[in-house]
Amino acid sequence: MSRAAQFYIDGQWTDPVSPAWFDLIDPATESTIDRLALGNAADVDRAVAAARKAFAAYSATSVQERIDLLRRIVRVYERRYDEFAEAMRIEMGAPIAFARKAQAARGPAHLNALIGVLENFEFEEQRGTTRVRLEPVGVCGLITPWNWPINQIVVKIVPALAAGCTMVLKPSEYSSLSALLFAEVAHEAGVPPGVLNVVNGDGPGVGAAIASHPDIDMVSFTGSTRAGILVAQMAAETVKRVAQELGGKSANILLDDVNLDDAVTRGVAACFTNSGQSCSIPTRMLVPRHMMNDAAQIAKAAALGYVVGATDSETTHLGPLVNRNQFERVQVLIQKGIDEGARLVTGGTGRPDGLSKGYYVKPTIFADVTPGMTIAREEIFGPVLSIMGYDTEDEAIRIANGTDYGLAAYVQSADIERARTIGRQLRAGGVHLNYPAPDFNAPFGGCKRSGNGREWGEAGLREYLEIKAMVGYGHD
Q: What angle do CA 186, 437, 448 make, to 5 degrees?
A: 80
Instruction: Count Cβ neighbours within 10 Å for each residue of 260-282 and write b for 16 or more, e otherwise.
Output: beebbbbbbbbbbbbbbbbbbbb
Q: What angle do CA 469, 470, 474 make, to 5 degrees?
A: 130
Q: Which of 173, 271, 279, 458 is catalytic?
A: 279
Residue 173 appears among annotated catalytic residues? no
How, if at all, do strands 451-452 and 166-170 pair? Answer: unpaired
Determine contact, residues 267/385, Cβ cutoff 8 Å. Answer: yes
Residues 119, 67: Cα–Cα separation, whole Å: 7
How, if at all, do strands 384-390 and 218-222 pair? Answer: unpaired
Residues 264, 464: Cα–Cα separation, whole Å: 39
Query: Which H or E run contains 32?
Result: strand 31-38
Say if residue 76 is exposed, middle or buried (CB neighbours under 10 Å; 0-12, 13-18, 19+): middle
Q: Which of 86, 173, 245, 458 is catalytic?
A: 245
**Residue 51: left (phi > 0), alpha (psi -120 to 50), or beta?**
alpha
Residue 314 appears among annotated catalytic residues? no
CA nearest neighbour of 153 among 246, 81, 78, 222: 222
Q: What does residue 245 show for φ and ψ, rounded to 5 degrees? A: -125, 110
Residue 122, amino acid = E
Residues 299, 81: Cα–Cα separation, whole Å: 34
Q: Is 428 helix (H, G, I), strand (E, B) or coil?
A: coil
Residues 397, 178: Cα–Cα separation, whole Å: 39
Residues 403, 42: Cα–Cα separation, whole Å: 40
Determine contact, residues 411/367, Cβ cutoff 8 Å. Answer: no
CA nearest neighbour of 155 among 459, 466, 435, 467: 459
- Which positions are catalytic? 245, 279
